[in-house]
Amino acid sequence: MKRVSLYSHSRRTGPYGRLGKAAAAPEMAGEPPAPPSRMVLAWRRFQGRHARLLSIVASSLLTVAIVAAYSAVTAPRTLTQYDIDQAVLHTLEEQEAEPSRAAVAYDIIRPSVVRVNQVGLEDSEDTEKAVGTGVVIEESGTILTNIHVVAGADRISVTFANGHKSDAHVVSVQPEDDLAVLKTDSIPDDLKPATLRSTRGLNLGDEVIAVGHPFGIGPSVSSGIVSGMRRDYISPKGKRTLTNLIQFDAAANPGNSGGPLVTADGEVVGIVTAILNPTDQRVFIGIGFAVPIENAAAAAGVSPF
């Protein structure tokens, strides 16, 4: 009986059998690998030194590729006038308009401005003979105004910014500056005096506002600039001459007299006292005058500078 062979008769694939060199002698398996080339070593050194830079470059290239791909698949949209109008409207709605400088100044001085009524007695009844303006300069209720606002009054009535009313009386006058100082019988609890500012730093072209009750309407505010300094004024009938005045072009009319001339910071630099009009009409034509606050403060016995 013939014995079956225990070995395969398949052809070998190499000099070392089907496993190739893996079946070589044990001493051949322990040979060290070939050293890397100079180019590989140089690249490894460069990569180690500039790893951060290479990372940034790679990220940038990736971003550019993404943007390019997005642009390639996204059709550009043409803006219409409607789109532009909506964008402008949205911006205007999101941004609140800032108040003007005149509005800011008026908001500061408003609590200190009062209406001065010259009251007369006719047939045993009070009648309003004239209207002017005043400004509170002390917490005790000291008020500056013009002499011609209160001259000849049988009674003086003052209305404060919050609506509080009180009778008032003249405590002192300074005729050379047409200034009168008033004290009221009562004052509101929240009375706020104005801040006074020296005219030493006042220049031609500086912004100013005039606050008062022109023709009894008010409080009203007008804005302009300082148009002159150290001006003289002679009344139409030559009854009074005023000197060293501030000239300004903010609108002022009868009723503004005694009111404050205020800087853009809301600080009082003068007391409005006259307007220049070569005609018989007592209306503003572009030139007004104010007594410097240094003179006005001296009339009230106040020396803030």
Q: Domain ranges in the chain?
A: 106-299
195 and 297 Cβ atoms separated by less than 8 Å: no
- Which amino acid would we find at residue 104? V
264 and 102 Cβ atoms separated by less than 8 Å: yes
106-299: which CATH number, 2.40.10.120, 3.40.50.150, 2.40.50.70, 2.60.40.10? 2.40.10.120
| pTM of the entire predicted model | 0.68
Q: Kindly indicate the confidence band of residue 21, based on its pLDDT and cuts at 50, 70 and 90.
A: very low
Measured between alpha carbons, how far is residue 204 from residues 40, 200, 207, 225, 228 in Å? 79, 12, 9, 7, 6
Catalytic residue set: 148, 178, 257
Q: In this predicted model, what pLDDT tens digit does every residue of 54-97 receive, in sequence order? A: 677 677 777 767 766 766 655 566 778 887 888 878 777 776 67
Measured between alpha carbons, how far is residue 177 from residues 119, 126, 132, 193, 273 in Å? 23, 29, 16, 22, 9
Measured between alpha carbons, how far is residue 39 from residues 51, 52, 63, 195 in Å? 17, 21, 29, 82
- 2-6, 211-215, 225-229: range with lowest mean pLDDT: 2-6
- Tokens standing for residue 133: 């303006």
- Angle ∠(141,137,112) on CA atoms, nearest 5: 80
Measured between alpha carbons, how far is residue 192 from residues 114, 161, 183, 262 in Å? 11, 10, 15, 16
Q: Quick one: pLDDT at residue 20?
A: 45
Q: Quick one: pLDDT at residue 43?
A: 65
If you compute the radius of gyration of the chain from its CA atoms, what whole number of angstroms results? 46
- φ, ψ at 194 (rounded to 5°): -75, 155
DSSP string, the chain: -PPPPSS--PPPSSTT-TTGGGGS-HHHHTPPPPPPPHHHHHHHHHHHHTHHHHHHHHHHHHHHHHHHHHHHHS------HHHHHHHHHHHHHHSPPPPPHHHHHHHHHGGGEEEEEEEEEETTEEEEEEEEEEEE-STT--EEEEHHHHTT-SEEEEE-TTS-EEEEEEEEEEGGGTEEEEEES---TT--PPPB--GGG--TT-EEEEEE-GGG--SEEEEEEEEEEEEEEE-TTSS-EEEEEEEE-S---TT-TTPEEEETTS-EEEEEEEE--SSS--S-SS-EEEEEHHHHHHHTT----
- Whether omega before 35 lies within 30 degrees of 0, making that bond cis, reads no
Higher-pLDDT residue of 223 and 129 is 223
Residues 220-231, mean pLDDT to the nearest whole number: 96
Q: Kindly indicate the confidence band of residue 218, based on its pLDDT and cuts at 50, 70 and 90.
A: confident
